[in-house]
C-alpha cells in the first residue's frame, strides 16, 4: 500500500498537538494595520488557537492523514 499524501496547504497552516488537538493561526490578520480594526480586535487576533472538535477531526482525518 502506498504512502498517503498530506495536503500541503494544511501542513503549513495546522499543527497537531500531542493531545490530538489542532493548533491554528487566527484569520483576518494579513492586513491588520490597513483597515480600521480596534486595538481589542488586533490584540485578540494575535497568536494561535485550537480548532473546535469537529473541525480538528476533519483536519486530522482528511488533510493530515499521519497527523
The C-alpha cell at 53 is 472538535
Mean pLDDT of 9-25: 93
Tell me how far apart the alpha carbons of residues 10 and 67 are, in angstroms, rounded to a whole number: 11
Confidence check: pLDDT of 38 > 90: no
Tell me how far apart the alpha carbons of residues 49 and 29 are, in angstroms, rounded to a whole number: 13
What does pLDDT average to over the chain?
A: 89
pTM of the model: 0.77
Out of 8-12, 14-18, 57-61, 63-67, pick the least confident.
63-67
Tell me how far apart the alpha carbons of residues 63 and 25 are, in angstroms, rounded to a whole number: 16
Q: How many Å is the Cα radius of gyration of the chain?
A: 15
Confidence check: pLDDT of 29 > 90: no
Specify the pLDDT at position 1.
Answer: 86
Amino acid at each position: 500500500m502506498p504512502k498517503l499524501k498530506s495536503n500541503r496547504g494544511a501542513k503549513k497552516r495546522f499543527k497537531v498537538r500531542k493531545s490530538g488537538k489542532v493548533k491554528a493561526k487566527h484569520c483576518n490578520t494579513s492586513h491588520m494595520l490597513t483597515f480600521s480594526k480596534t486595538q481589542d480586535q488586533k490584540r485578540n487576533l494575535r497568536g494561535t488557537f485550537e480548532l473546535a472538535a469537529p473541525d480538528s477531526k476533519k483536519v486530522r482525518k482528511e488533510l493530515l492523514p499521519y497527523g
